[in-house]
Amino acid sequence: MALLEIKNLSLQVNGNKLLNNISLSLKKRMVYAIVGPNGVGKTTLGNTIMGLEGYRDFKGDILFKGKSIKDLDIYERSLKGITLSWQEPARFEGISIEKYISSSGKDISSDEVSEILKDVGMSPENYRKRAVDKSLSGGERKKVELASILSMKPELVILDELDSGIDMDTIENIFKAVNYLKSNGSTIILITHSQAVLKQAEYAFLMCHGMILKEGKTPVISKYFSNKCLPCDHKNEPEE
């Protein structure tokens, strides 16, 4: 049985069709990528799977472990083991990194918080007591958010543009954390327009104009980055 199945999913917001008859199936303990240029519906698809407000009035169905989650809100989906990392991580004034991570998981000890911070490339001595606020850089906040996800041990993780605004050293630590999540039983969806991020996946879906144009093993979909576009029937099709 697939962990996640999306069946004929279409979403329209304010008269604009954002997702168009999408169907896909994800197995357990695999890393997937959803790739394509900006504005084609990748983030919208992630938000719809998570059940964010404004993304729940869709046609079709979403099944998690064989059961529909269409009528569940974001909190109920998170209880089932689904989590989403945003492009722009949140700031929380007045809460320490240690408390933020320990409150994300269940029965997380101080030593475990330290180990999780090391897993995402952060020194526990330098970061445990720091606040999750504007004093952290974008890359630091992304690593803190990923650390909180590690503590949750979710079954399905949606990581949206995890390499946005961070340096190469940071992204390498994040890639290690992605592998750690998989080794501990998580299925991961990487939403990206980066070839480097795509290479972390085993299987990928190419999106454009709210549709899945192509799917296959990562080397097949990576051809998108050399060709830049594939012929399709929407109005922005490039001339040959």
pLDDT of residue 143: 85
Indicate if the pLDDT at residue 152 is higher than 70.
yes
Q: Which domains does the chain have, with CATH numbers?
A: 4-227 (3.40.50.300)
Residue 238 pLDDT level (bands cut at 50, 70, 90): very low
- Classify residue 7 by burial, with Cβ atoms within 10 Å: 0-12, 13-18, 19+: middle
Q: Is the pTM of this model over 0.95?
A: no
The DSSP bridge partners found for residue 205 are: 34, 215
Residue 232 pLDDT level (bands cut at 50, 70, 90): low
Residues 6+ away with beta carbon under 8 Å from 54:
13, 47
pLDDT of residue 231: 53
